[in-house]
Copies of this chain bind each other. A is one copy, B any other.
Amino acid sequence: MAIGSIPSDPVIPAAALLEHWQGHRRLTRRVIEAFPEEQLFSFSVGSMRPFGALAMEMITMAEPMVRGIVTGEWDQMITREARPKKEVLRLWDESTEKINTLWARIPPERFQQTATAFGQYPGLVYELLLYVIDNEVHHRGQGYVYLRALGIEPPPFYERQ
């Protein structure tokens, strides 16, 4: 059965995709909170980046991606350097609000149009958004291993409220 024969009707509502993402973001926020301050930007496994650096990557991708899609202006003004956990959480919460506001300005037809994110990543708008969400889930999965290696129980994966 070729994939080409699958109906191409859109099946996921724009509002649901946002809510799905924000559910993931609530969980990721809890993972950031679960890290001890002194390990957030220092601890890792297998020479990978510490979770604080991954969280800052997410922050520099998430709201800037949605802003770029809405405005055509692509920039990532926040640096990824280490900072106190409460500052990471503050930036996280700020992004959450901005994403909600910007998302309401994406016309439904825009999701299936092309864009070149940050001047270098071409794709359909929904693909670019899914990439940012998947990147968050991927790196958060790393964070779960770091927490376990630190002897800390991570928040439940299925809890998104």
Q: Which of A66-103 contact B (CB under 8 A)?
A: 100-101, 103
| A47: Cβ under 8 A from any B Cβ | yes
Contact with B along A126-161 (1 / 0, CB 8 A): 110011001101111110111111110000011000
Query: Whole-angstrom distance between the alpha carbons of A46 and B126 in the complex?
Result: 35
Q: Which of A23-42 contact B (CB under 8 A)?
A: 24
Contact with B along A1-31 (1 / 0, CB 8 A): 1111111111111111111101010000000
Structural contact, B137 and A141, CB atoms closer than 8 A: yes
Structural contact, B48 and A126, CB atoms closer than 8 A: no
Q: How many residues of A contact B (CB 8 A)?
A: 57
On chain B, the residues within 8 Å of A142 by CB distance are: 141-142, 144-145
Query: Whole-angstrom distance between the alpha carbons of A126 and B46 in the complex?
Result: 35
| A112: Cβ under 8 A from any B Cβ | yes
Structural contact, A17 and B13, CB atoms closer than 8 A: no
